Amino acid sequence: MPRVKRGVTKHARHKKVLMAARGYHGSSHRNYKWAKEALLHAWDHAYRNRRERKGDFRRLWIIRIGAACRQAGTTYSRFIYGLKKAGVELDRKMLADLAVRDQPAFDKLLALAALHSDGAPEEVAAGQTAGA
């Protein structure tokens, strides 16, 4: 069986790794060994942070909805409670977008939530602790 020389394949693989490591500091963008190590760490962080990003955006949406609710004189929890009682099935991404881009539509949702949140969660919880 003839001998297999891997010079071209190895060069291509090294070039691919070094191209992916462009912009890294020090030897991490020049040296194949360190570039490969840096890329493995970068990919680990990217994988983890793609999952973290979902929670980050949910927290951002809740903050935006809460700010819009406070401007209208209510709380986030009363608003969400009222929407659930009213049967509105908009997710927090849509609600935050309405709060930022379409204030009149969000005001209608606030009115609908206020109409259906006669026993808001804070009042119910306060009533339970006072009676206990």
- The domain locations on the chain are 8-52, 54-131
Q: Work out the average pLDDT over 43-61.
A: 98
pLDDT for 69 beyond 70: yes
pLDDT for 130 beyond 70: no
Class of 54-131 in CATH: mainly alpha
Burial class of residue 10 in the structure, from the number of CB atoms within 10 Å of its CB (0-12 exposed, 13-18 middle, 19+ buried)? exposed
CA–CA gap between residue 119 and residue 86 (Å, rounded) = 13
Q: Work out the average pLDDT over 18-37.
A: 97
pTM of this structure: 0.76
